[in-house]
Amino acid sequence: MGLEFLGVVKKYEQLLKIGQGTFGEVFKARHRKSGKIVALKKVLMANEKEGFPITALREIKILQQLRHENITHLIEICRAKGTPNDHFITSIYLVFEFCEHDLAGLLSNQQVKFSLAEIKEVMKQLLNGMYYIHSNKILHRDMKTANILITKSGTLKLADFGLARPFSLPKPHQPNRYTNRVVTLWYRPPELLLGERNYGPPIDMWGAGCIMAEMWTRTPIMQGSTEQHQLNLISNLCGSITTEIWPAVDQLEFFSKIKLPADLRRKVKERLHYYVRDQIALDLIDKLLAIDPTKRLNSDDALNHDFFWIDPMPSTLAKMLTLHTQSMFEFSALSRRRMHHQSQQNFKKPPHGVDMTFDRVF
């Protein structure tokens, strides 16, 4: 598929705005001839004085080379001629297959119940998608529940590659120099927070661990307000960040510049046990949230973890989703906020004496 721009207005009828991607708005639309429902991602062009945005070009190039059932599919690229309302700036749209749900919306809806077998299916499909992109030397760099889409038939799609980039294995004396200003703060791994620029797939695997825990907690487990706060939350959950635990950490730019909590022991299993009653699941979360990225499970080892190979086995999501036929995107922004607030109010609290000091998270 070349970079061929087709007229979006002639081909598609916009129905409603369904979200905000990393670099543009996302709309639900209908193909005028076939009636097929798609998602249109508008590329922001207003501030681009030197042509097509490099971030969008990178996303397009990456998506053109990825073909996998658990990766969102880029159908085509369209344009819409500018009007007086937008100062005659041409709009570019990426056309994707439409997915009825996103994981963040499903988890914020207390009417949606995931069984253990269904949680296994979500994580299996997510890890399959991650294994595919990492095998193709692509980092996602924005793992979070809002970027995990699910079709009404129960197929999971890893979406929004606006921050994704190719990676290469560092050569001796030639480390990579990628930006560490990536990944939404609540899902950002400790190496990025401490300034690492020579990173790889482990940054995505940390996000997978956060997402897996969230399948039970129904809310992000570490909601930092600043990078320092996020590091404090990570230390409170995963233990103090030291050279004993992570030998190379003292080489990172910010390690000596940030005051890190000391003498904290690791409490991942202990503090998540109230929510995640399955010991095998706790073990997988614990291994995905390893402080030292070199000790963090990769996607292949995670898929081979006992969690996926003992009863109950992963089961289809289609049956559960048939009970929630309305797309999560059909709700207004106000309804989504109200639903999320209600989930916070209704979510069961641990009994008195249970150590769950996640700093406002639960």
Q: CA-to-CA distance for 46 and 91, rounded, in angstroms?
A: 9
Q: CA-to-CA distance for 155 and 133, rounded, in angstroms?
A: 17
Phi, psi of 150 (to 5 degrees): -140, 130
Q: CA-to-CA distance for 241 and 262, rounded, in angstroms?
A: 8
Residues sharing a CB contact under 8 Å with residue 292, sequence separation 6 or more, in sequence order: 245, 246, 247, 248, 249
Q: CA-to-CA distance for 68 and 241, rounded, in angstroms?
A: 37
Is residue 75 classed as helix, strand or coil in its secondary structure? strand
DSSP assignment of 218-236 equals SS-S---SSHHHHHHHHHH
Q: Is 204 a catalytic residue?
A: no
* 220 closest CA partner among 298, 120, 145: 145
* CB atoms near residue 94 (< 10 Å): 24
Q: Are 32 and 7 in contact (CB under 8 A)?
A: no
- Residue appearing with tokens 């069984």: 115
Structural element, H or E, at residue 291:
none
Which pairing describes strands 5-7 and 74-80: parallel, antiparallel, or unpaired? parallel
**Given 102, 142, 160, 204, the catalytic residue:** 142
Just list the catalytic residues. Answer: 142
